[in-house]
Structure 1
Amino acid sequence: MQTTKKDIQLAIRPDVGGEFFQWFNFRLSGQIGEQYVLNILNAGEASYLEGWENYQAVASYDRQHWFRLPTSYKDGKLTIVAELECETIQIAYFAPYSYERHQDLLAAVQVHPLVTLEHLGETLDKRDLTLVKIGDGAAHKRNIWITARQHPGETMAEWLIEGLLYSLLDSDNATGKQLLDKANFYIVPNMNPDGSVRGHLRTNAAGTNLNREWQSPSLDKSLKYFM
């Protein structure tokens, strides 16, 4: 829904199930040099209102380099101001980490001799859930498990995993080498690829918050099947 460029009215779409929402990622097209004011009207009903305090939306013209936009929250409305330097701008809650980049990451690290990819299972939307194993498997070493993006809207978690993987596998990184001398790593870069692709904040394709599934997981709510 839209009125004028000084009052573009938007609403965030809830996750499946309707319980959670906060994540957004959209494209705005307009005239170079013009200022556009975007008002997200249902921000006051979002899942984590404290998240709007001192919050600044991110934006990009090339979808590679991200910067902050002037953003304010008042009376349940989130207002984002964008003055266009190009005709099209991408605006998001956090810098997105796409499913395509996720697949590129897995493909890039698998060629390293210390890396093995293991297929853990298939998600409800029939996407692979992949484990990255790094190390020689020596029994005397510690085993370190790291998982990311049970909440798919927390995209910074997979950015961290990307940096961690490349640091561990960089032969010139002294810290990475020391860690691999002492430990084997078992890393799941994205625990919730379905929610990531669907643009969810916290849930998967079934509307399940996977962070609450550890006690009593199920094939119907968590994975289509598990290896």
Structure 2
Amino acid sequence: MKRFVLVVPVVLFVLSACATVQNTDCTQGEVRLTQDFSNAPDYACRRTGLAAFELTVVPESTPINPSPWFAFDIETAREAEVSIALDYGEYRHRYRPKVEESDGNWIAFPDSAVSLDDDGHAATLRVTLSPGRYRVAAQEVIGIGERAAWREDFAARNELEIETIGHSLDGRAIEALTRAATTPDAPLIIIVGGQHPPEVTGVLGLRTFLTTLFADAAANAALDRFEWLIVPDLNPDGVAEGHWRENLGGTDLNRDWGPFEQPETAAIRDAITARHGAGHTPFILLDFHSTRHDVIYTPHDNAGLTPANFSAGWIALLNGAWTGEGEAFARDPSHNPGLPTAKSWFALTYNAPGLTVEFGDETDRERVAELSRAAAIALRQYLEAAETQPGLDG
């Protein structure tokens, strides 16, 4: 994939392209738009010019959280000024469009290449492309195969086991990364990610968090005192199909912790239950997501959970480890009370703190990495202190 440059003569190009259109098939011609890879939805596409397209961006069901995801390839046999209109219907533009460069890095379209209608229900991307194939998406595309490869590599490098704890509706494996404690009754730490497909900064943050947490061999003594259950990609079907929010069962998985009507959430519930039955008392749950800003949703400090001080203690250590600009994460102890989310179910079922770690959709990716490293360092410090101060962990 090659670099793209901003279009200048947009109006002249669009007029001439529209005047000569005969075939409205987006997948044919010298300039083509296709959606045939993991993470790409199958939106209706209409060719409106020789190098102009319109995508109808619709969710898998309604009502739904407004996370209008898109991902597609543009292939051109010649230098072309390309226009892609995104029609969101009743929803509004959310993600800043990005393109993958030849080195695998993703860069955002400049503001001047993206125009919105007055109410944000439609966006038009306009770029000049050299001959080649270009992947464009709302966020970085991390497909099913790449996620599986990352789990395998991470487990191998950090001496974790890969355990299939269940299967999705479409038969894809739900894989957990596990690490056994050195004692039979060690507390259980659960880390979850990938419940909502477009939340890519949550995926990137979780990866850096885990890499930092397990990187230091000297910290293994503290880590060894806990049983680890890590499920980085709970919704593989939603990722594969390019969903905004749900699995193939039309369910937001982070509203199914309690009903457990979907096989993905039932699988992680059963894995937690089995470990609890084997003597591993659930200690904390961290659930990684993305939203519009960097925030950690926590229980209230007076909620009567054990360990009682975890949220305040961990965030204080996180702020102490933070070396970046401005505030690290905001803290919100009042988000989605009463809903069947992972953190709410965990608190109700095990009287233990569940926290949702959210990274901003457009948070600079280096800041995402810095936040994740600070969070992992803080958790390691907390667990080390729990080892030396008996009252801290209960």
1:36 aligned to which of 78, 82, 91: 82
Report the equivalent of 2:242. Answer: 199
**Higher alpha-carbon deviation: 200-209 or 78-87:** 78-87
TM-aligned CA distance change 1:182 to 1:222, over 3 Å: closer
Q: What is the distance in 2 between the residues matched to 1:188 and 1:195?
A: 15
**1:29 partner letter:** E
CA-CA distance at 1:113 after TM superposition: 5.9
Q: What is the distance in 1 between the residues matched to 2:203 and 2:213?
A: 15
Mark the runs of 5 or more structure 1 residues left unpaired by the alignment.
none
TM-score with structure 1 setting the length: 0.80
Conservation of the 8 A alpha-carbon contact between 1:153 and 1:202: yes
**1:38 partner letter:** I
TM-aligned CA distance change 1:157 to 1:207, over 3 Å: same
In the alignment, structure 1 residue 136 sits paired with structure 2 residue 176: no
**2:82 partner letter:** Y
Structure with greater helix share of residues: 2
Aligned residue pairs, count? 218
The sequence identity of aligned pairs, in percent, is 22
1:58 aligned to which of 83, 98, 108: 98
1:99 aligned to which of 139, 144, 147: 144
**1:122-149 Cα deviation digits (max 9, x unpaired):** 1110011111124635468654322112
Which has the larger Rg?
Answer: 2
CA-CA distance at 1:14 after TM superposition: 2.6
Report the equivalent of 1:67. Answer: 107
Query: Which of the pair has the greater relative contact order for Cα pairs under 8 Å at 6+ separation?
Result: 1
2:127 aligned to which of 68, 82, 86: 82
Q: What is the distance in 1 between the residues matched to 2:234 and 2:103?
A: 24
Mark the runs of 5 or more structure 2 residues left unpaired by the alignment.
1-45, 272-394
Conservation of the 8 A alpha-carbon contact between 1:35 and 1:82: yes
TM-aligned CA distance change 1:4 to 1:148, over 3 Å: same
Report the equivalent of 1:168. Answer: 213
CA-CA distance at 1:40 after TM superposition: 0.6
TM-score with structure 2 setting the length: 0.49
CA-CA distance at 1:84 after TM superposition: 1.4
Conservation of the 8 A alpha-carbon contact between 1:119 and 1:129: yes
TM-aligned CA distance change 1:146 to 1:220, over 3 Å: closer
TM-aligned CA distance change 1:158 to 1:221, over 3 Å: closer
Conservation of the 8 A alpha-carbon contact between 2:51 and 2:83: yes
TM-aligned CA distance change 1:220 to 1:67, over 3 Å: closer
**Higher alpha-carbon deviation: 31-40 or 184-193:** 31-40
TM-aligned CA distance change 1:158 to 1:113, over 3 Å: closer
